[in-house]
Amino acid sequence: MPVLTKPASSFINGTWVEGSGAAVSRCNPAAPEETVTSYRQAGSAELEQAIRSAAAAARAWDDLGILARGRILSAAAARIRERAEEIAAVMTAEHGKTMAESRMEVDASADTFDYHGGSARNPVGTEYPSSHPDERILTVRRPLGIVGVITPWNFPLQIPAWKIAPALLHGNTVVWKSASHTPGVSVLLMDILAAAGVPAGVVNLLLGPGPLGSELVSHPMVAGVTFTGSVPVGHHIRSIVCGRGAKLQLELGGHNATLVLADADVELAASSVVSAAMGSTGQKCTATRRIILVGDGHEAFLSRVKDKVSALVLGPGTDPAVQIGPVVSASARDEIIAAISQSLAEGGEILAQAATPAGDGYYVPPTLLTGPQSMSICQEEVFGPVATVLHAATLDEAIALANNTAFGLTAAVFTSDERAARRCVTYLEAGLVKVNAPSTGSELHAPFGGMKDSTFAGPREQNSAVAAAFFTHEKTAYLRLAPEKA
């Protein structure tokens, strides 16, 4: 019995449009024989239609004004809350995460629409002094125009909310290519935005394959692109968008380290690393991938981590007793299991592993490894419930080890030594550094984004001022009075 109560299709100019491409369906990763969502993929014709409708809707949406647009976003937040259980059920069925995780994501997404809706009342622009007494110099912000949004499947509502809410608030129109694994959640968001009062053509959804994303970002009418996903796809998009001089925001993968010092609170550090490494089945860009033990005296910590990993309960996300759902697909499962095997072949060993349930679900047992830091898993982002324990003799050695990847998304440190904590904040190469808290999780009003290969130089995400910097052009207006009439 499908969870999605309406047929899935692309949404263009306020109308549900069946794609001209292949018929595809999305299965439930906990029960792969069960189809959750079926649709026809959008192709180049629908992309062109979406761009034209976004262009046609742009002027009226801009003229509506930021306060009216903010009210529509707040109405969308209320509708997300009203339909929270329905959205969470579709999310769990398509993605595999537990219902508790889906509910948290739905709630955070509603908060995101509320936050950006409310930020409509923030002051805009700056006034500068002029050398002419009859002149005012003001900066004003103008929309980019059409924004192309491309999002991954791992947070199918929250990441689109981070992008679509501020893009709309600032008067842009949107063409969104959502992730193929989670079409139903995207359909529900379109339904909600339309019902909240977003006019036809202002936001358009394309349910299409990856290469359609390339076409979207190549389109000369797309003035800005915001992308979250893997490093290879992000770099491919960067070469296209920068080549044609459009504005670009990238949030990419991570290989996040958590440093544990000997003076850390053992229970806090152990529960935090297990939730950061294994929660959401390890399918978070901010997940802890490497646990670096600094100095000696970590026996109690390691024994708690091993016990907690071994005790994790896997199963379908609809079962309230389950802590860890399946991974998103059979190919993801096979890749993660192959990466674990490769680590063992490269000198690694398994310290702890949870039990895998019976059945056809795409389950990967949460696995705690250790071994030489030359193992490929210490460099490559393996997007699943696997973390590796490494050792460093000193804090400086641990920081160097943590920084020894191409990524720079998040990092965490557990210690009661404030001097050591500050040193980590200063020298860890990560866009987000957390002290005595998991490497995962962020507040939606604080800037979020990485360093190095995890990002692209430019405004990051989430905070409203940062969002305004990305989703608008700043202009400087010199307003001089006409001479007084005699």
DSSP secondary structure, 409-433, as one string: SEEEEE-S-HHHHHHHHHHS--SEE
User: Dihedral of the CA atoms 188, 153, 273, 231 (nearest 10)?
Assistant: -140
For 86-147, the DSSP string reads HHHHHHHHHH---HHHHHHHHHHHHHHHHHHHHGGGS----EE--SSTTEEEEEEEEE-SEE
Q: CB under 6 A: which stretch of 55-63, 74-82, 247-255, 355-363 binds ligand NDP?
A: 247-255
Of the pair 171, 461, the CB lying nearest ligand NDP is at 461
- Residue 218 binding ligand NDP, by CB under 6 A: no
Enumerate residues 392-421 that contact ligand NDP by CB under 6 A: 409
Q: Which is nearer to ligand NDP, 70 or 438 (CB)?
A: 438
Distance between CA atoms of residues 395 and 259, nearest Å: 9
What three-state secondary structure class fits 36? strand
Q: Applying CB under 6 A, which of residues 111, 251, 429, 453 lies at the interface with ligand NDP?
A: 251
| Rounded-to-10 torsion of CA 426, 429, 432, 433 | -50
Residues 161-200 that bind ligand NDP (CB under 6 A): 177, 179-180
Taking alpha carbons only, the member of 343, 333, 430 closest to residue 385 is: 333
Q: What does the alpha-carbon distance between residue 285 and residue 409 come to, in Å, rounded to a whole number? A: 8
Minimum CB–partner distance for residue 97 and ligand NDP (Å)? 13
Mask of contacts with ligand NDP, 342-381, x by CB under 6 A? Answer: ---------------------------------------x
* Known catalytic membership, residue 242: no
Q: Which of 7, 65, 125, 210 binds ligand NDP (CB under 6 A)?
A: 210
Of the candidates 14, 118, 209, 357, which one interacts with ligand NDP according to CB under 6 A?
209
Catalytic site residue from 27, 242, 285, 378: 285
Q: Which stretch binds ligand NDP (CB under 6 A): 69-77, 87-95, 252-260, 412-420?
A: 252-260
Q: In what order do the strands lie in the sheet with 367-370?
A: 349-353, 367-370, 386-392, 288-294, 256-260, 410-414, 432-435
- Is position 468 an interface residue for ligand NDP (rule: CB under 6 A)? no
Using the rule CB under 6 A, is 285 a contact of ligand NDP?
yes
Residues binding ligand NDP (CB under 6 A): 150-155, 177, 179-180, 209-211, 213-214, 228-230, 233, 236-237, 251-254, 285, 381, 383, 409, 450, 454
Residues forming the active site: 285
